[in-house]
Structure 1
């Protein structure tokens, strides 16, 4: 069923276009939002979705591989007509979507949850949404996180419009240049604080978790958010939005990760060369390190056994080489990362692919190492 138009569609579309975001290139900050949303909500698909006339356009997406689809098949077009978080546990049981082309055919969407991107005037522009191929429901923490991300994305969109306007004005006066830089730093600072707040809430819930498995999942989510928050902190401290020093960044990230380490982890050792990286590359690298270090926390050492996790980063002729290793029990016999169906391994492979990198795994009792190599472009 095609969604009805918004009651103030003409004004809603005018508000959307005033932000100047439609048909813009991908941007790492928005890409990170959908990656983290998919990881925390444990869904294969996540999208920053804007509802335009006759189409829905994706500022960022993971799991779809396209930048827009027709409005007739849009679930988000229904979502912008609803207040609050819109969740469809099973699309085949909802009369609005049971005949939807994306439900009946590829990619056979069965679950949807979307939080509104709303302007200060109250116009819904689109959603931050997650989708799955099977029926399910989000828990309360995932719903709260999705709504927080929608609020944060709306701030990013608003800041982007402010920056674009100031860029034109900068040609007229040097005074506006300094004003723009101040606004950008303030935007980075707010985003950093929001991410740190999410990470702190997840860490608090982990400490109060009723089971080891719940604690583990909360720690995994906390560490993924922590990696992004640390990147933004580093960008804020260096005063640049383009490049960061990988050595300082990894040291700060691992210092923070140590706070979530189990008692059997004696130390996290960082041996990193001072490589200047684009923020998008450093972001992917940080998420990889967080995932692999947390993997060692979970599997490397038995209770009562003490050991370390080591991160080595070196420059290569083609770019960089990262190795995350431990001296624990080793991976199961016959382990093949290409065949692994574990969620953590899927996340790791997704990050490796995003970096256009390669991964190699070596493991025996007493030594396990994940080696990733990539370029700096």
Structure 2
């Protein structure tokens, strides 16, 4: 079923266009929102979706691989007509979507949850949404997190609008650049605080989890949020909005990850050259380290068999090389990273693609290493 137009569609579209966001390039701040949303909600797809005339356009996305799709099959076009958080536990059981082309055909969406992006004047622009290929629900923490991310996206959009309208007319170029940096730093600071709050909630839930499986899932989500929060903390410590000292960043990240390690993990040894990388590259690298270190925590050493995990970063003639390794029992016989369906390995492969890098896996009893070689920086 095609969604009806908003009651004030003309005003809504005018409000959307005043933000100057449509058809702009990808940006790390928005990419991080969908990355963390997908990780916390454990969904393969997450999108910052804006409903334009005749199309839905994605400022950021994980798991789709496209920047826009026609409006006729849009679930978000229905979501912007609803207040707050719109959840469809099973699209096949909802008369609005059971004949939707994206539900009955590829990619066969079965679950949708979207938090409304709404202007201060009350006009809906789109959603921060997550999707899955199977029916499911979100818990209260995940619902609260989606609302939090929608609020964060609106703050970023408001900062854009303020910079583009109110300040350009009354300040000189040098003053504008300085004020823009202050505003962006404030937005970055708020996001960092929000991420740290979510990470603390997940860590608290992990400590009180009723089963080891639930604890492991919460620890994994906590580590993903921690990786992004650490990037933002490092941005503030270095005083840069664009580059990060990668050695200090990796050491701080691994110090934090050690708090979630099982008893048999004796250390996370970090060896890293002192160099700077773009913040978006460091962000992706942080997510890779968090995933791979957590993988070693879970599988490398059985209880009662102590061991360590190593993280090594260095510049190469063609770019950079990151390796996460352990001296544990090795990967299962016949393990193929390209065929692996585990969510953690899917996250790893997604970030390797985002970094335009190459992943190589070495494994035998006594040594397992994930090596990532990249050319950007």
Please tell me the TM-score bracket, short chain as reference.
over 0.9
SS at match of 1:82: coil
CA distance in 1, matches of 2:52, 2:277: 35
**Conserved? CA contact 2:355–2:376, under 8 Å:** no
- TM-score, normalised by the number of residues in structure 2: 0.96
Q: Is the partner of 1:296 in helix, strand or coil?
A: helix
8 Å contact kept, 1:117–1:151:
yes
1:316: Cα distance to partner? 0.6
Structure 1 residues 204 and 105: CA distance shift in structure 2, 3 A: same
Counterpart CA distance in 1 for 2:126 and 2:53 is 12
Deviation at 1:104, TM superposition (A): 2.5
- Structure 2 equivalent of residue 161 of structure 1: 161
Counterpart of 2:15 in structure 1 is: 15
Kept in 2: contact 1:166–1:176 (CA 8 A) = no
Q: Which residue of the partner structure matches residue 362 of structure 1?
A: 362
TM-score norm. by structure 1 comes to 0.96
Give the aligned partner of residue 64 of structure 1.
64
Show the counterpart of 1:194. Answer: 194
User: Counterparts in 2 of 1:1-377, with a 5 A limit?
Assistant: 1-165=1-165, 168-169=168-169, 172=172, 174-377=174-377
Cα distance 1:97–1:252, how it changes in 2: closer, same or farther (>3 A)?
same
Q: Output the CA distance in 2 between the equivalents of 1:58 and 1:181.
A: 25
Please list every run of at least 4 consecutive aligned residues from structure 1 whose deviation after the TM superposition is greater than 6 angstroms. none
Instruction: Give the Å deviation of 1:296.
Output: 0.8
Structure 1 position 180, deviation (Å): 2.4
Q: How many angstroms does 1:344 deviate by?
A: 1.1
Contact 2:264 / 2:306 at 8 angstroms: preserved in 1? Answer: yes
Question: What are the ranges of 5 or more consecutive residues in structure 2 without an aligned counterpart?
Answer: none
Aligned with 1:60: secondary structure?
strand
CA separation in 2, counterparts of 1:185 and 1:193? 12
SS of the residue 2:371 aligns to: strand
* Cα distance in 2 between the residues matched to 1:147 and 1:102: 25
Displacement, 1:241? 1.6
Give per-residue Cα distances to partners, 1:166-199, cap 9 Å, x unaligned. Answer: 7735862644443222212111111111111111
**How far 1:18 sits from its partner (Å)?**
1.5
1:144 positional shift:
1.8
CA distance, structure 2, for counterparts of residue 72 and residue 208 of structure 1:
44
**3-state SS of the aligned residue for 1:128?**
strand
Give the superposed CA RMSD: 1.6
Q: How many residues align?
A: 377
Greater Cα shift, 68-77 or 212-221: 68-77
Task: Decide which moves more: 304-313 or 138-147.
Answer: 138-147
Determine if contact 2:92/2:103 at 8 Å carries over to the other structure: yes
Q: Which moved more, 1:162-171 or 1:235-244?
A: 162-171
